[in-house]
Amino acid sequence: MATRGVLTALTAEGDLGLGHLEVESAGGVEVARRLRAGGQADVVVLASDAIEALARDGVLDGQTVLPLLRSDVVVGVPQGAPVPDISSVESLTAALLASRRIGYSTGPSGSALQALVGAWGLDEQLADRWVQAPPGVPVARLLADGAADLGFQQRSELAAAPGVTVAGRMPPGAEIITIFTGAVATASEHPAEALAVLTLLAAPAAHGVIRRHALEPAT
């Protein structure tokens, strides 16, 4: 879902030659499930670990894997709520311990956050505070609806979300960076055209649109 806005925008830019594409977005777990169940696609864009797993299983053509987007995880709070200090690992852990409900995603940002919390020895203290957004539902919605008072997700999903204030990115030593890569589906009926699309998505001409959607080019 972190790539939905930018992919939609890129296909709307007529001079990029991508206007013929139909973009369908869903949570990464759901996309992988659909593809494994025989769902049809030509180009797939997911977090790099998900792409690698699908390529190993032959669902995607591993020879076509191409890094496209770089995304950092930020911390958000409901609009109007006090903004916590998250400038250091110590202040971030204090903010976590002070929160009653912590929103996180089913995607790579959520997995990385859980790993950090485990490394900090906070699993037991925070065990009953986690609120996981259902697949395809942004953490921003949990914050805006009052279901969480601290949330973690890709910047592209939180930055412009209504009802949310971004407190900032993860502090030094706790950065969570996700690389989104693309690949051609092995079942694609248009593999050459699909590979050409990947090349256009990674081209410098797309960089301005990518940055306007709170992401960075992967290369």
Percentage of the chain exceeding pLDDT 90: 81
**pLDDT for res 135:** 78
- Number of domain units in the chain: 2
Q: Which residues, at least 6 apart from 19, have a Cβ–Cβ distance to it below 8 Å?
A: 11, 12, 13
- pLDDT exceeds 70 at position 121: yes
Longest distance between any two alpha carbons in the chain, whole Å: 53
Phi, psi of 203 (to 5 degrees): -75, 155
Q: Which residues, at least 6 apart from 131, have a Cβ–Cβ distance to it below 8 Å?
A: 101, 102, 103, 104, 142, 147, 148
Percentage of the chain exceeding pLDDT 70: 99
What does the block give as tokens for 204?
A: 């410098």
Instruction: Specify whether 195 is located in the same domain as 122.
Output: no
Instruction: Specify whether 146 is located in the same domain as 80.
Output: yes
What does the block give as tokens for 103?
A: 């929103």
Instruction: Specify whether 106 is located in the same domain as 156.
Output: yes
Instruction: Specify whether 31 is located in the same domain as 9.
Output: yes
Confidence band (pLDDT; 50, 70, 90) for 163?
Answer: very high
CB 180 within 8 A of CB 46: yes
> Which domain covers residue 39, as residue numbers?
4-70+178-217
CB 197 within 8 A of CB 68: no
- pLDDT exceeds 90 at position 216: yes
Instruction: Specify whether 134 is located in the same domain as 89.
Output: yes
Kindly write down the DSSP assignment for every residue of 78-92, as one continuous string: ETTSPPPP-SSHHHH
Q: How many helices (DSSP H) and strands (DSSP E) are in the chain?
A: 10, 8
* Predicted model pTM: 0.85
**pLDDT for res 26:** 87
Beta-carbon neighbour count of residue 105 at 10 Å? 29
Helix locations, 65-190, DSSP H: 89-98, 108-119, 123-126, 139-144, 155-158
Instruction: Specify whether 64 is located in the same domain as 98.
Output: no
**pLDDT for res 166:** 95
Domain boundary pick from 133, 149, 169: 169
- Closest Cα partner for 168 from 91, 87, 104, 93? 87
| Per-residue pLDDT tens digits for 73-111 | 999 999 999 999 999 999 999 999 999 999 999 877 888
**Mean pLDDT of the residues in the chain:** 93
**pLDDT for res 12:** 84
What does the block give as tokens for 108?
A: 């790579």
Instruction: Specify whether 75 is located in the same domain as 159.
Output: yes
What does the block give as tokens for 67?
A: 């890094």
CATH number at residue 58: 3.40.190.10
**pLDDT for res 13:** 67
Indicate the burial class of 172 (C-beta count within 10 angstroms; 0-12, 13-18, 19 or more): exposed
**pLDDT for res 136:** 75
Instruction: Specify whether 80 is located in the same domain as 135.
Output: yes
Instruction: Specify whether 21 is located in the same domain as 65.
Output: yes
Instruction: Specify whether 191 is located in the same domain as 124.
Output: no
Domain boundary pick from 131, 149, 169: 169
Domain boundary pick from 129, 152, 169: 169
Instruction: Specify whether 63 is located in the same domain as 83.
Output: no
Instruction: Specify whether 33 is located in the same domain as 119.
Output: no
